[in-house]
């Protein structure tokens, strides 16, 4: 039985949280209610306890007990945290890491998926700081059920009304459904740039941050896959992959990928591999007094092409970083490298693609199909990509 923690904050729409609770129960989930102290002034926690059959948690030190341990235990136990309604204050606390009541403390301890359904006045929802807070949470993989338009408790009509309980329940169940969709699958993901040494202190590289590949790996882990993440040098903390391999050069990455690809069910090559390497890197630091040096470059192995050509049935996904002719260039790469899918993005747009939290992609498949996404948080793009990979891989089998 899936276990859900349902957090609710002090909005007039709080009564709808009871319907959300009932909706999850009807779908066979166990629900642990959590109210913020202000929410508990609007509605009796007893009502939530009676419906859920579990004591509603409000304060961090309820009953004189140290909930500092209870919130960790509960965080491990649940499959999903749903916060409905979430106020601007709760969203700000989550985004800023403030832990001054049970719900916000619990949020920090939760490593499972989180779904947030905001409810507030339209001006508050569109406030630049609230937007920024929500964007920060989205960039971390947290999903939102957008508020709807309609009459608000303050008498205004606008965007900010809590989504309908059935919409929230459906979004929560969709997350739970994905939780095991890649169970038993071995997934190989590459991420980040490579570095090609010029001398012991200098190298050739590119602007890739690794964020997209890490988001792809994190989503596969969330879906239950056994993930190997092969990463070039990045500044990001690695997700809890079954295997994490750090590499530096294109040659290191080629070896790491080709050694493992035979066992992979899916390969997603999100790394920005250097196309050229320095023929003979200098053994000692090149001194500026020695005149203008010239670099002799040789092409690196095309890892993706080599991996796709290996025998065995697997689903192979490449990326294409382009600065023009996106569709044409990406389709040519898909064909030349015998890929199942290619995720193309225009890296010439500031704030998207390389070294950004956001991306907009054109996803092409081998059958001629294509999907163009809007600008999305990389975590959201990773979710959509896995939905597409799963549906295409099912057809390929
Ligand atoms: N790739 C690879 N090995 C390389 C270069 C690229 O495996 N030596 C992979 C990348 O990880 C990506 C795909 O090939 O998934 C396309 O990379 P991209 O840099 O867009 O294209 P290239 O094939 O390098 O072609 P070009 O640089 O001419 O655009």
**Residue bearing the CA closest to ligand 1, atom 8:** 302
> What pLDDT score does 71 carry?
79
Confidence of residue 336 (pLDDT cuts 50, 70, 90): very high
> What pLDDT score does 293 carry?
86
> What pLDDT score does 99 carry?
94
The number of beta carbons lying within 10 Å of the beta carbon of residue 328 is: 11
Report the separation in Å between the CA atom of 326 and the middle of ligand 1, taken as the mean of its atom positions: 14
The residue annotated as part of the active site, out of 154, 198, 236, 349, is 154
Give the mean pLDDT of the chain: 93
What is the four-CA torsion angle of 105, 109, 111, 116, rounded to 10 degrees?
-10
Per the annotation, the verdict on 154 as an active-site residue is yes
> What pLDDT score does 61 carry?
63
At the second CATH level, the architecture of 186-396 is 3-Layer(aba) Sandwich (3.40)
Q: How close are the terminal C-alpha atoms of the chain, in Å? A: 30
104-142 as b/e, with b when 16 or more CB fall inside 10 Å?
Answer: bbbbeebebbbbbbbbbbbebbeeeebeebbebbbbebb
Q: Does residue 215 sit in helix, strand or coil?
A: helix
Question: Is the pLDDT at 64 greater than 70, yes or no?
Answer: no
* Of 60, 8, 58, 13, nearest in space to 37 by CA: 58
Provide the CB-side half-sphere exposure for 76 (13 A, CA). Answer: 4
CATH H superfamily, domain 3-178: Flavin prenyltransferase-like (3.40.50.1950)
Question: Is the pLDDT at 154 greater than 60, yes or no?
Answer: yes
Q: What does the alpha-carbon distance between residue 29 and residue 52 come to, in Å, rounded to a whole number?
A: 10
Report the separation in Å between the CA atom of 322 and the middle of ligand 1, taken as the mean of its atom positions: 10
Q: Which of 190, 206, 297, 302 to mutate to test the pocket of ligand 1 (most atoms within 8 A of CB)?
A: 302
Q: What is the pLDDT of residues 68-121, one digit of tens each?
A: 567 788 999 999 999 999 999 999 999 999 999 999 999 999 989 999 999 998
Report the separation in Å between the CA atom of 186 and the middle of ligand 1, taken as the mean of its atom positions: 23
Average pLDDT over residues 163-192: 96
- Pair of tokens at residue 327: 């569709």
Question: Is the pLDDT at 67 greater than 60, yes or no?
Answer: no
Average pLDDT over residues 193-200: 98
Q: What does the alpha-carbon distance between residue 274 and residue 302 come to, in Å, rounded to a whole number?
A: 9
> What pLDDT score does 179 carry?
86
Instruction: State the DSSP H helix or E strand holding residue 141, giving kind and residue range, or none if neither.
Output: none
283 or 67: which leads in pLDDT: 283
> What pLDDT score does 62 carry?
60
Q: Where in the chain is CATH 3.40.50.10300?
A: 186-396
Question: Is the pLDDT at 229 greater than 90, yes or no?
Answer: yes
Confidence of residue 150 (pLDDT cuts 50, 70, 90): confident
> What pLDDT score does 63 carry?
57
Ligand 1 pocket list (CB less than 6 A): 250, 269, 271, 273, 275, 300, 302-304, 318-321, 333
> What pLDDT score does 160 carry?
87
Q: What does the alpha-carbon distance between residue 337 and residue 333 come to, in Å, rounded to a whole number?
A: 6
Instruction: State the DSSP H helix or E strand holding residue 73, giving kind and residue range, or none if neither.
Output: helix 67-77
**Residue bearing the CA closest to ligand 1, atom 6:** 273
Q: What does the alpha-carbon distance between residue 81 and residue 26 come to, in Å, rounded to a whole number?
A: 17
Under DSSP, the state recorded for 63 is: G
Q: Which of 212, 269, 344 to mutate to test the pocket of ligand 1 (most atoms within 8 A of CB)?
A: 269
Residue 300 CA: nearest ligand 1 atom is: 8
Confidence of residue 290 (pLDDT cuts 50, 70, 90): confident
**Phi, psi at 37, each rounded to 5°:** -55, -40
What would you measure as the largest C-alpha separation in the chain, in angstroms?
81
Q: Which of 190, 196, 231, 304 to mutate to test the pocket of ligand 1 (most atoms within 8 A of CB)?
A: 304
Residue 250 CA: nearest ligand 1 atom is: 8
Contact 300, 250 (CB under 8 A): yes
Q: Where in the chain is CATH 3.40.50.1950?
A: 3-178
């Amino acid at each position: 039985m899936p276990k859900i923690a349902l957090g609710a904050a002090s909005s007039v729409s709080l009564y709808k949280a009871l319907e959300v609770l009932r909706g999850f129960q009807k779908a066979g989930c166990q629900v642990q209610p959590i109210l913020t102290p202000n929410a508990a002034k609007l509605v009796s926690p007893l009502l939530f306890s009676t419906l859920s059959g579990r004591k509603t948690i409000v304060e961090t030190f309820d009953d004189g007990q140290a909930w500092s341990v209870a919130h960790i235990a509960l965080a491990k136990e649940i499959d999903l945290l749903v916060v409905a309604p979430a106020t601007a204050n709760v969203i700000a606390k989550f985004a800023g890491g403030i832990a001054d009541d049970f719900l916000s403390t619990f949020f920090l301890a939760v490593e499972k998926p989180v779904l947030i359904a905001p409810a507030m006045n339209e001006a508050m929802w569109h406030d630049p700081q609230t937007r920024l807070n929500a964007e920060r949470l989205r960039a971390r993989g947290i999903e939102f059920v957008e508020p709807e338009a309609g009459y608000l408790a303050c008498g205004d009509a606008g965007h900010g009304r809590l989504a309908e309980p059935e919409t929230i329940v459906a979004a929560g169940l969709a997350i739970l459904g994905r939780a095991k969709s890649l169970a038993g699958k071995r997934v190989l993901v590459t991420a980040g740039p490579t570095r090609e040494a010029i001398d012991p202190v200098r190298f050739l590289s590119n602007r890739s941050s690794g964020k997209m590949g890490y988001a792809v790996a994190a989503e596969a882990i969330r879906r239950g896959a056994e993930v190997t993440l092969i990463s070039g040098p990045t500044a990001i903390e690695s997700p809890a992959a079954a295997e994490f391999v750090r590499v530096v050069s294109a040659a290191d990455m080629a070896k790491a990928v080709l050694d493992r690809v035979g066992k992979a069910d899916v390969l997603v090559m999100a790394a920005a591999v250097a196309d050229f390497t320095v023929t003979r890197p200098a053994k000692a630091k090149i001194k500026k007094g020695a005149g203008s040096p010239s670099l002799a470059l040789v092409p690196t192995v095309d890892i993706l092409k080599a991996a796709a050509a290996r025998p065995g049935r697997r689903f192979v996904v490449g990326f294409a970083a382009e600065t023009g002719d996106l569709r044409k260039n990406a389709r040519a790469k898909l064909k030349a490298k015998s890929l199942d899918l290619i995720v193309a993005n225009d890296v010439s747009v500031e704030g998207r693609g390389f070294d950004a939290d956001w991306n907009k992609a054109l996803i092409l498949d081998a059958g001629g199909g294509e999907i163009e996404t809007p600008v999305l948080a990389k975590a959201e793009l990773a979710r959509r990509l896995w939905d597409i990979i799963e549906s295409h891989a099912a057809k390929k089998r």
